[in-house]
Amino acid sequence: MKFNFDIECTPEEARKFFGLPDVAPMQERVMKELEDQMQENIRNLSPEEMVKTWMPATMQGWQEMQKMFWGQMGMSGAPDAFGKGK
């Protein structure tokens, strides 16, 4: 024998029915703290420092991708990212 029940309720009503805790206030506090920390970090980091932090990894990634491309094409003496031959 099989029984099916359709119950219409809000998520809050279901949570209360099953006795689960209300974590919404805690989530709001954690998200506010996270937002405050991110904004503080952004304020303390100048645009010049951001570029210095991100650029070397980006340039290295492009150079590696370019080397791989030229290697696939069989051009080992192809110019690098600065226009110089190998």
- Please indicate, yes or no, whether the overall pTM of this predicted structure exceeds 0.85: no
Residue 77 in domain? no
Residue 85 in domain? no
Q: Give the per-residue pLDDT at 28.
A: 96
Q: How far apart are CA 11 and CA 20, in angstroms?
A: 11
CB count within 10 Å of CB 4 equals 4
Residue 22 in domain? yes
Domain count for the chain: 1
Q: Which two tokens stand for residue 35?
A: 């937002």
pLDDT of 15-64, one tens digit each?
999 999 999 999 999 999 999 998 888 888 777 777 777 766 666 677 78
Q: Which two tokens stand for residue 60?
A: 């290295």
Domain span at 40: 9-44
Q: Which residues, 6 or more positions from 9, have their beta carbon under 8 angstroms from its beta carbon?
A: 17
